[in-house]
Structure 1
Amino acid sequence: MSRQERAGCRRSFETGRCGPARVGFFAVVVAAVLFGAEIGAPAQSGPSYSVGGRANVRAPLHDLGVPSKQTSENRYAAGFVTGPPYSTEFTMVQDIATVLASGQETGPHGEMALRVLPMVGTGGTRNITDVLSLAGADMAIAPVVLAERLRDAKTFGDIRRRLVYIALLHTEEFHLLVRPEIGSPADLAGKTVSLGEDGSAADTLGREVLDALGAKINAVNLGLNAALDGMKRGQISAALLLSGKPLKPLLDLNARLEGIRFLSIPYSQALQRDYLPSTLRYADYPNIIADGESVDTVAIQSALFAYNWPARSERFELLESFTQSLFSRFSEFLGDAHHPKWHEVNLAAKLPGWQRFRPAERWLDRRPAGEATADSGTGNQRNPTRVSPGQEERLFKEFLRWRERQQGK
């Protein structure tokens, strides 16, 4: 395939107009990202580097099967792949690590029976592939839509046998920051826009969202600080971030002094399949949004995924201990010292099309009424009406939209 043809396929995939080819090309892109090779180029030999900066000799891709997964040497530490350090997802993993570290009995040298080690990732598809292949990565917070696309692409075979979910988490909102001269998405056509780190969820999904808005941009991949600096200098017209609101670095931004503001992302029909409507409000970003005003945007659902270790293995038992601690101490995450996104989490919520980690399922079956949710109004339903997976997903999306409207009242 020529470079021009590959570029055409990439544009078709990103715009969502390539039909069946969309999944096929997604599979090739993911394989290239994971194995460090350019599409169409021979694979490179020798070690490569992954989250945490450690050398990681990756297994060859055998018939597009799942890469081999070795056991971590640290039997008491659970590796948790998350987003960049500025992201809400990283903050929430730090919350987990801090809470679960407290209240544990330690050994004679201060060692703990369970440690949670945050591992900096991009927040995109790579987070999932790290869990599938990297020895030290047991879990990841990842967008559901990217996990589903990776599953459907079957780049690594049927990953449902290798990947389970522990809990459905919170929504992650798109934050489209623009300079003063940008008045609508159409004004971004031909302009330079940062989509975050290369391979991040914002990079992958941001192109899709902006294309749905009719904005053919000149995309660049910059970290948050570099993107904001480029906007202040007039070198970049906009920056698109994807993470749960509120993002702490944006709370420290003197946006009004710089003329930087949020631009609305309308919930168009083209986005309704994979995205949810959401709103950024004054209460979220008082330094960017005026009192009484709000900005429409779209969001995606995130989940806590884990590697499906063999039952009764050391890693399985470690994740079982982690799950029991997380679920039984869930109320501790609802305090003011932790990120407000914890209030969106309902541990009992199901993720259609995926298998839940069995110890998590057993804990929920035994839970007291209301213990598994931040909102006691959702309660414990022992005998719910049976619905199909498609209906369950639709009802859940309707619930999220209802909750968004309630928060705006």
Structure 2
Amino acid sequence: MRVCGTMRAGLFIALIAAAWLGGQVQNCLAQKPPPASPSDSTKASPRKEAIPRKQTGRSADPYTVGFVTGTPQCTEFAIAQDIATTLATGQETGPHGEVALRVLPIVGNGGIRNVLDVLTLAGADVAIAPVVLVDRLRETRTFGDISDRLTYIAPLHIEEFHLLARPEIGSLTELAEKRVNLGEDGSASAILGREVFNRLGVKISESNLGPEAALDGLRKGALSAALLVSGKPVSFLTQVSQLDGIRLLPIPYSKELLQQDYLPSTLRHQDYPNIITAEASVDTVAIKSALFAYNWPIGSERYRLLDLFVQTLFTRFPEFLGDAHHPKWREVNLAALLPGWRRFRPAERWLQQQSGGEAALRKAFGRFLEGKPTANPPDREELFQDFLRWRERNPAK
């Protein structure tokens, strides 16, 4: 009798459980969305991807400018580091050691990714990018119409093509059908290197490795050549020794084939004494680079931060021309124009305010010296830096 009672109780519980599970299934089915219509399917297709938009929903650091640059092996990363470390000095700090302006380098690939990051990431404000590459993105509308979403702060330096080759390769034409590394896919080196080889009629077997792996491939013979596009001298190339047998291969400049987008340039012994012998030189091609910025709405928090960044960078620009910084700074002309693009308004305004020329600068410097003792010549550079910081705090004087 006890067994039968137990069985009846178990059966009763099972029936209740089955009824409850059935209700849950019905609820799930009732909540299941209807099948997508053909039009909905088309909208969700990655082939119809919408124009990328800036991430403004999350709050970015209101004191930090996000600076997208190239890989750590390239000169563009060194330029960003120069800006970050220099602007970090000479600022008055708050009660907890905070500063009004920080610059945070963000590692990119120097190519399309840099532009996309500035167009989409909330914390990315500026980027160094090749002018020819950004022009192409605008013309082809790869990311839609970027004319109103991107602006420029200033043209920068030129970036040279460095074509490293094994000792058995004597000329560019000998690379036909050989394995050549052009850099990571989507990088400026890969996109523009492919274009240069095609224009010059040299068909290669392309590889897409990073700089370290490419150098290792050259040494082991897995690659015949490797391309690196960056401003000379590139510190990464100090790893290359003449004992490796690796050399810099000339890239002939053709006005007919390259003039529209590329410039002639030369690599010399003083640029790379570890690769180029004394009195020797290597002809190559180059491209222009510029400092681009996202066109934040006027009056927004990020716009004001970028305004502060420009005022600080431009005012302290003479500091970057010394030997402690990369030689490429000496190629920079802040007032140079970038045809087809609009300059960031605070940058344009700052340049217009400086149009009074050297006479106005000397007059302001004289007012600054009124409260200073006469400086000895060795102290003049330090005094000038004080003067620049004084002008930043007293823009109306």
Q: Which category describes the TM-score, using the shorter chain as reference length?
A: 0.7 to 0.9
2:165 to 178, 192, 195: 178
- Mapped partners of 1:193, 1:271: distance in 2: 20
Cα deviation, 1:13-48, whole Å, max 9, x if unaligned, reads xxxxxxxxxxxxxxxxxxxxxxxxxxxx9439xxxx
2:344 to 357, 363, 366: 357
Q: Are residue 369 (structure 1) and residue 377 (structure 2) matched?
A: no
Instruction: For residue 161 of structure 1, give the secondary structure of its aligned residue in structure 2.
Output: coil
CA distance in 1, matches of 2:311, 2:193: 36
The equivalent of 1:204 in structure 2 is 191
Residues 142, 305 of structure 1: 8 Å contact kept: yes
**Offset at residue 160 of structure 1 (A):** 1.2
Q: Deviations over 1:202-222 (max 9, x none)?
A: 000001111222221111111
Q: Shift of the alpha carbon at 1:238?
A: 0.3
> Displacement of 1:334 after TM fit?
0.7
Counterpart contact for 2:70–2:76, Cα < 8 Å: yes
Deviations 1:217-246 (A, max 9, x none): 111111111111111111110000000000
Per-residue CA deviation, residues 153-188 of structure 1 (Å, 9 max, x unaligned), is 123332111100000000000000000111111111
Asked if structure 2 preserves the Cα contact closer than 8 Å seen for 1:185 and 1:213, the reply is: no
Q: Which amino acid aligns with 2:245?
A: G
SS in 2 for 1:303: strand
Match of 2:247 in 1: 261
Q: Is the 8 A contact 2:182 2:207 kept in 1?
A: yes
1:112 to 99, 103, 124: 99
State the partner residue of 1:43.
Answer: 46
In structure 2, the residue matched to 1:320 is: 307
Give the CA deviation at 1:370: 5.9
Which residue pairs with 1:90 in the alignment?
A: 77
Q: TM-score, normalised by structure 1?
A: 0.74
Corresponding pairs, count = 313
Superposed CA offset, 1:32-89 (max 9, x none): xxxxxxxxx9439xxxxxxxxxxxxxxx833xx3524416421110100000001100
Give the superposed CA RMSD: 1.6
In 1: Cα distance, 2:75 partner to 2:59 partner: 27
* 1: CA distance, partners of 2:95 / 2:89: 16
Alignment of 1:5-404 (within 5 A): 42-43=45-46, 61-62=49-50, 65-70=51-56, 72-254=59-241, 256-268=242-254, 269-367=256-354, 368-369=356-357
Deviations 1:252-304 (A, max 9, x none): 321x1011111111111211110001000111011111111111100000000
2:160 partner SS = strand
Equivalent-residue separation in structure 2 for 1:361 and 1:175 (angstroms):
34
Cα contact 1:67–1:156 (8 A) shared by 2:
no
SS of equivalent residue, structure 1 residue 159: coil
For residues 106-135 of structure 1, the C-alpha deviation after alignment (integer angstroms, 9 at most, x for no partner) is: 112211111000000000011111101111
Matched letter for residue 76 of structure 2: E
Distance (whole Å) between structure 2 residues aligned to residue 364 and residue 293 of structure 1: 40
- Preserved contact between residue 185 and residue 214 of structure 1 (Cα < 8 Å): no
TM-score by length of 2: 0.76
Secondary structure at 2:115 match in 1: helix
CA distance in 1, matches of 2:212, 2:141: 36
* Contact 1:164–1:356 (8 Å) recurs in 2: yes
SS in 2 for 1:257: helix
Residues 257/338 of structure 1: CA separation in 2 closer, same or farther (3 Å cut)? same
- Structure with more helix by fraction: 2
Identity of aligned residues (%): 65
Higher Cα Rg, which structure: 2
Structure 2: gaps (5+ residues): 1-43, 360-397
| Secondary structure of residue in 1 paired with 2:105 | strand
Q: Which stretch shifts more, 205-214 or 301-310?
A: 205-214
Report the AA paired with residue 263 of structure 1. Answer: L
The gaps in structure 1 that reach 5 residues or longer are 1-40, 45-59, 372-409
Instruction: Determine helix, strand or coil for the equivalent of 1:151.
Output: helix
